Amino acid sequence: PPAQIMFCTLNTHKVDMDKLLGAQIGLEDFIFAHIKGQRKEVEILKTDDVLGLTITDNGTGCAFIKRIKEGSLMDQNKMICVGDHIETINGKNVSDCRHYEVAKMLKDLEKGQMFKLELIEPMKTFEKLEPRSKGGTLPEAKISRGRETLRLRTKGPATVEETPTEVEEKAIKKVDELLETYMGIRDIELAATMVEAGRDKKNPDEFAVALDQALGDFAFPDEFVFDVWGAIGDAKQGRL
């Protein structure tokens, strides 16, 4: 059932956060669905303001851990793993929350206090499968310009579009990094939507208005919006 799918990876069965299914896929890419497995509970003493987690989600109510910073508070607890779905925080079910909401809840937890997480790890399977041989359909092999990709959107139907230009790809990657810095989340689809919003804008004010119209629910801080506009400009000028 779709509700059991935590996330999908492209061209690998492994829990590889660098191969997550994002906003765009090649028409020849191979998709692996990772489903819910074992549940586990962990209690942590928050001794630092920063937990060291990067959160993302699948767009349908499943926020999961994309990255654990080495040496961080969360890295010290080996029960917590990349790919784990965060189901509850201190007994509050967050399964229907977006990744930025979950990241804020974790950030707002009081320092010096214990908190409990209920996690669901991806089902471990295909352990003996060998990865696909490297070829033209793997992400490492650039899709030639003019090839079409399937664009997946959280809201609205999927569409077949041209692959992003090299400039847009660089801008999307940089905006995704800014999302992690400012909000503790990674979301290629969100980054691509933001780059699209700034595609034909002439100044940061026009960009801010377009961003508010497309993604007003996020309430991005002004300094973040300015940095995103700067990243888009840097990509266009070849500085990335």
DSSP 68-134: E-TTSTGGG-TT--TT-EEEEETTEE-TTS-HHHHHHHHHHSPTTSEEEEEEEEEPP--TTPPPPPP
Asked which of 18-22, 76-80, 110-114, 198-202 is least confident by mean pLDDT, the reply is 18-22
Q: What percent of the chain has pLDDT over 70?
A: 82
24 Cβ contact partners less than 8 Å away, ≥ 6 residues apart = 149, 150, 151, 152, 161, 163, 164, 192
Confidence of residue 137 (pLDDT cuts 50, 70, 90): very low
CB atoms within 10 A of CB 104: 15
Confidence of residue 35 (pLDDT cuts 50, 70, 90): very high
Cβ–Cβ < 8 Å for 65, 53: yes
Take residue 49 and report the two structure tokens written for it.
Answer: 């303001």
The pLDDT of residue 60: 79
The pLDDT of residue 153: 60
pTM more than 0.85: no
pLDDT in tens, 193-215: 899 889 889 899 999 999 888 88
Instruction: Give me the mean pLDDT over the 106-120 stretch.
Output: 93
pLDDT in tens, 44-103: 999 988 898 999 888 777 999 999 999 899 999 889 999 999 999 999 999 889 898 999
The pLDDT of residue 136: 45
Q: What are the residue ranges spanned by the domains of the chain?
A: 2-122, 164-237
CATH topology of domain 2-122: Pdz3 Domain (2.30.42)
Cα–Cα distance, 43 to 117 (Å, whole number): 6
Q: Is the pLDDT of residue 145 over 70?
A: no
